[in-house]
Amino acid sequence: MCIHSPNSSETGSGRRPNGDRYGGDVLAGDWRRPRKGRVAEVPIERDLVVESADERFCGAVVDWDKTTVTLEDRHGGRRVFDLTPAAFLVDGEPVTLVRPAAAPRGPARSASGSIAVQHARSQVAKESRIYVEGVHDAELVEQVWGHDLRVEGVVVEYLEGVDHLPEVVRDFAPGPRRRLGVLVDHLVPGSKESRIAAEVASPHVLVTGHPFVDVWQAVKPSAVGIDAWPQVPRGVPWKEGVLRALGSREEPGEAWRRILGSVRSYADLEPELLGRVEELIDFVTAPYVVED
């Protein structure tokens, strides 16, 4: 029987109405015990603890969409299940999880956690820009911050490698009304990336970055169902080395589509990336101040 949650040391199943996930009878309230030959339908809600019908995975609900539900176990591991009839157990009884009928209370949130601006048209793009190193970086930023960037009118472009940064900055001609923010992979002291960043330092250019070798590592391992990102020896292409260590035969592009698809919100990303992207957005959208 499934008796644990990833975020609590208490035991039990289900969730109490006042926020306690572990009520005595998980079919209390509006939930109905199945009639003979009929499987109960249980509305999905965040932190609801269920077990897969084959009893191989137990976890709390962390996300769902029209056809799937994502569970997280007590160790932070996540799995995505199809919303098929009788696919789960609650207190050992088979149930069918269904999407809740009522809309969530409070303002809608974007994937970045900010309040979503409903029915807003994208602004005309500002002159200021954010550059990232490659296509995968750009796609990840769009996945989580796309709504915010469209509301603010900020365009994200990619460099195809940090080696091109001095030339890009020179051609961009940054100024007080034309700021440039740059997100760099593996920005650590003494690295090639840090030396290039120092070359383009300017009050109108902000170069910041995360410590990861590749932006894949900025996705939490639990989001993609692994314990940790493998260590790759020097001299081995990082993406290929990771896939080999994980025993995957996927091509890097195919693997990235799967990794990107596992990112539903900012909660699936490491804080070392979250803070840096938020910093860049604030930098390029800050009001222009005329100095006396």
Cα 185 to Cα 104: distance, rounded to the nearest angstrom: 37
10: pLDDT strictly greater than 50: no
Mean pLDDT across the stretch 3-28?
Answer: 40
Tell me: do 24 and 87 sit in the same domain: yes
Q: Which domain holds residue 156?
A: 129-285
Kindly report the length of the chain: 292
109: pLDDT strictly greater than 70: no
Report pTM.
Answer: 0.59
Number of domains in the chain: 2
For 69, the 3-state DSSP assignment is strand
Tell me: do 139 and 274 sit in the same domain: yes
Lowest mean pLDDT among 33-37, 184-188, 231-235: 33-37
**119 in any annotated domain:** no
Q: Quickly state the pLDDT bin for 38 (edges 50, 70, 90).
A: confident
pLDDT value at residue 37: 56
Tell me: do 265 and 147 sit in the same domain: yes
Residue located via tokens 């956690």: 113
**155 in any annotated domain:** yes
**122 in any annotated domain:** no
pLDDT value at residue 12: 38
Lowest mean pLDDT among 51-60, 224-233, 255-264, 281-290: 281-290
Distances (CA, A) of 245 to 97, 136, 157, 231: 35, 21, 31, 8
